[in-house]
């Protein structure tokens, strides 16, 4: 009797293990990181802002990866990078904290107030407070853009030079 119970328990445990180890719903994510430079030198968001007064909680800049997916539903998805404002280095945690799905992206750097009013006073289009506006979005003023291909193995040496 005990032997039959043990065999049934072992079979049930095996079934649970097989079902519990199924494929994850998470898309493949790979490491993505790099740095922002200006004229080949270290770029500092802190210096770029030059003491501008920002709203509480606003970091004054954003590094973003915008998907250029082949599938319409995947195109235009935005992923924020974690930016070290002192030295311009960044990492992209992605949707699950493990990086980005491989594919094509636009790397875009914005500086200025998030969601601030532009010349028209309409929300969005914030630039650096007290400086000329132009080429703005709700993320701030776009100061650099670069097409990036994230390969299956990830990419950790991206460089975007804002002087180019």
Q: Which of 148, 129, 154 is nearest to 63 (CA)?
A: 148
Q: pLDDT digit string (tens) for 44-98?
A: 887 888 777 777 777 888 899 999 975 555 778 899 999 998 899 999 999 889 9
Count CB neighbours of 135 within 10 A. 11
How is residue 38 written in tokens?
A: 């200006």
Q: pLDDT digit string (tens) for 90-142?
A: 999 998 899 999 999 999 998 877 655 444 343 344 544 444 445 555 667 88
Per-residue DSSP letters for 27-62?
PP-B-EEEEEEETTEEP-HHHHHTT----TT--SEE
Sign (positive/negative) of CA torsion 109, 64, 112, 139? positive
pLDDT on residue 55: 74
- Residue pair 140/58 in contact (Cβ under 8 Å)? The answer is no
pLDDT on residue 6: 45
What percentage of the chain exceeds 90 in pLDDT? 41
Domains of the chain: 29-161 (2.60.40.1120)
């Amino acid at each position: 009797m005990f032997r039959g119970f043990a065999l049934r328990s072992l079979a049930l445990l095996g079934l649970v293990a097989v079902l519990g180890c199924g494929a994850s719903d998470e898309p493949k994510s790979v490491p993505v990181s790099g740095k922002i430079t200006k004229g080949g030198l270290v770029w500092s968001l802190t210096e770029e802002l030059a003491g501008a007064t920002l709203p509480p909680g606003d970091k004054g800049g954003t590094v973003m990866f915008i998907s250029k997916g082949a599938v319409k539903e995947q195109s235009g998805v935005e992923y924020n990078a974690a930016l070290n404002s002192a030295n311009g280095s960044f990492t992209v945690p992605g949707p699950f904290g493990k990086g980005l799905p491989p594919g094509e992206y636009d790397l875009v750097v914005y500086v200025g107030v998030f969601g601030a009013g532009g010349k028209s006073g309409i929300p969005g289009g914030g630039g650096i407070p007290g400086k000329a506006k132009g080429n703005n979005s709700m993320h701030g003023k776009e100061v650099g853009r670069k097409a990036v291909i994230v390969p299956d193995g990830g990419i950790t040496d991206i460089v975007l030079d804002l002087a180019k």
